[in-house]
Structure 1
Amino acid sequence: MSDNIAHAISGAGGGIISMILTYPLITVSSRLQVQKDTKESDAYKGGWDAVVKIFNNEGISGLYSGLNSAIFGIAVTNGIYYYFYETTKKMFEKGNRPMSVVESIMAGTIAGSATVLVTNPIWVVNTRMTTRKVSLDEDESEKTKPKKLGTIATILKIINEDGFKSFWQGIIPALILVINPIIQYTVFEQIKSRIEKMKKLGNLDFFLLGAISKLVATGSTYPYIVIKSRMQLRQSSQESARYKSTWDGLQKIIANEGYGGLYKGITSKLLQSVLTAAFLFMYKEVLFKYTVAFLALRKRVI
């Protein structure tokens, strides 16, 4: 069986582990990204304030809203991405030479585009679950008290209210954000190939490489992450609050919230992204060795 399958399985496994370890940071950054009005009484003033308010109002489970859909989403996302990335990478790496910068960009573009088109519905569901506020206040009116919905209930709610097309909301900024993993994996591959000439890479090296490459990628693409998150929510009926396109969203955020609106939640997002990528690359390398051994053993048994 091809190593590409092993890369896909280990990438999915590494993604699940890293997602579980960092998910509260995803919840916090997602809610800060979609928050338009910071003057409301329940508005989050920053990352720590968001943690405190979510915990007080929703309990510890509030920090893990949508975790099931996120685990499923990251497993599918990483599985597809690594399969296409490694397949394309092998086409370029003939004669054991490392990929050039241009080849890394091409591999990332192919893998990222395929991943976005398949997984966007999963992340629409996850974004709505993660950003939905609920309350533990028993005295609050049932009419104004949002109910905590599971994955299936959220999917049905989206279909009933907005139709199937809404599962591809935010697809344009998501496709633009393919540049994020392109930057990430290009930086990763280029630094990795240089270090490998000097020494054998260990788990700590992969951890640091994942952190550095993701820091560069997320820091340079963050405004599109904010726009994508907002477009994946149910769009407002008010013309001024609805984003018709990526460019329209960009203009409205700057007009209504200033340039700072494009970077809401960036601190917690950078921390989450860097840690997620670091854990992902580290655990993927570990899992890859076990996956290859398992698939080889299974093949012999069959």
Structure 2
Amino acid sequence: MSDAAINGLAGAGGGIIAQLITYPLQTVNTRQQTERDLKKEKRKPGAIEQMCQVIQNEGWERLYGGLTPSLVGTAASQGVYYYFYQIFRNKAEVSALERSKMGIGDGSVGMLSSLVVAALSGCVNVLLTNPIWVVVTRMQTHRKTSKKSQPDQILSTDPDEAIVAAAEPPPFGTCYVVKEVYDEGGFLGFWRGVFPTLIMVSNPSMQFMLYETMLNKLKKRRALNKKNNNGVTALEIFLLGALAKLGATVVTYPLLVVKSRLQAKQVTTGDKRHHYKGTLDAIIKMIRYEGFYGFYKGMSTKIVQSVLAAAVLFMVKEELVKGVRFLLTNKVKSKPNLT
């Protein structure tokens, strides 16, 4: 098995575990980002309070709305990202070694090269998996309404045969959302928000650049202190992943809010301030009607969720890579030598 495939599968496994642990926070955060209230309230409920409100008003299952496509998306995104990241990383390492032979550099991949590698991997990932995240965002922001709150529905247009019944909300599963997105925007509707998402490639790029820089420095320091020992523990990987994600999230959060607004169900009637035609239109309307505060809605929740998820992902991914390599090495050693 190639190193790229090992990293891809390990990344997918780590992403799924991180997603399962932090998904309720992600649902609450997406709802916070897509709130269209134009007046800043004196007090906003915190993440835990909002989770309790969702449970009380809509049930436990709404905290996990869109979990199935989200797990598929996480596995696909992490698998695609790590697979292409390793491929591009290998090419960068070969290029760095060739330059070192020419007297340029020390043969290691620098920060700029790491940034480019992460950015290219992120772009491939975004273009391939954006449709999944459009569906997930719709399902996370869907609010379950009770039967009592639904308006009466006339089942016949004939006044003599008019039958009035309580309107039932439609079944809001993955297939329903896929149809809804297609009916609204056709095939290209599944790539709503792709432009800010592509710009947001800088988030994982910065994240991995910070992570690998800190990891390499830690390994070098450990190698100097203890001969032939540059190992890093799972806890240290966890902390490094958390620090890297924290720095990247603070810088790119406004783009994440714009992306969520575009991918959520658009209000086509009523207040035009709630309807966004595209990325630039969303940015202008948010600045005009909500101020810069609108770009940072739910940021505290996102920091907790993303930092925890990234830390778990890095820790699990590194342990899975070590485990798979260990198993493959032992398997090779156990094969009898027939020569």
Q: 2:59 aligns to what?
A: 59
Deviations 1:50-97 (A, max 9, x none): 212211112111111111111000100000100111111112224595
- Among candidates 118, 121, 125, match of residue 128 of structure 2: 118
Q: Tell me how far apart the structure 1 counterparts of residues 181 and 245 of structure 2 sit (CA, whole Å).
A: 31
Q: In the alignment, is the contact (CA less than 8 A) between 1:98 and 1:193 conserved in 2?
A: no
Please state whether the residue corresponding to 2:221 is helix, strand or coil.
Answer: coil
Pair 1:264-2:264 in alignment? no
Q: TM-score normalized by structure 1?
A: 0.91
Q: C-alpha distance in 2, partners of 1:111/1:167? A: 20
How far apart are residue 139 of structure 1 and its match?
3.2
Aligned partners of 1:218 and 1:270 also within 8 Å: yes
User: How many angstroms apart in 2 are the aligned matches of 1:213 and 1:240?
Assistant: 36
**Which protein has the bigger helix share?**
1
Deviation at 1:282, TM superposition (A): 0.2
In structure 2, what residue type is equivalent to 1:83? Answer: Y
Q: Residues 192-216 of structure 1: CA distance to partner in whole angstroms, max 9, x if unpaired? A: 1100112221101110011000000
Q: Tell me, which stretches of 5 or more residues in structure 1 are unaligned?
A: none
Residue 100 of structure 2 is matched in structure 1 by none
The residue number in structure 1 matching 2:149 is 140
Flag the structure with larger Rg. Answer: 2
* Letter of the 1:244 counterpart: K
Aligned to 2:266: 235
Which residue is 1:50 aligned to?
Answer: 50
Please state how far the C-alpha of 1:176 moved relative to its aligned partner.
0.4
Unaligned runs of 5+ in 2: 98-105, 154-166, 223-230
RMSD: 2.5
Q: How does 1:1-302 map to 2 (within 5 A)?
A: 1-37=1-37, 45-94=45-94, 95=97, 97-135=107-145, 137-141=146-150, 146-199=169-222, 200-237=231-268, 239-293=272-326
Further displaced range: 155-164 or 23-32: 155-164
Q: What CA distance in whole angstroms lies between the structure 1 residues aligned with 2:44 and 2:131?
A: 27
CA contact under 8 A between 2:203 and 2:252: conserved in structure 1? Answer: yes
**What TM-score does the superposition give when structure 2 sets the normalisation length?**
0.82
Superposition deviation, residue 222 in structure 1: 0.4
* Pair 1:6–1:241, CA change in 2 (3 A): same
Contact kept in structure 1, 2:85 and 2:121, CA below 8 Å? yes
State percent identity of aligned pairs: 39
Aligned residues: 299
Q: Report deviation, 1:294.
A: 5.0
- 1:199-255 deviations in whole A, cap 9, x for unaligned? 221101110011000000111000000000011123332543332332322221111
Note the alpha carbon deviations across 1:239-292, whole angstroms, 9 max, x for none.
433323323222211111111110001011110000000000000011112233
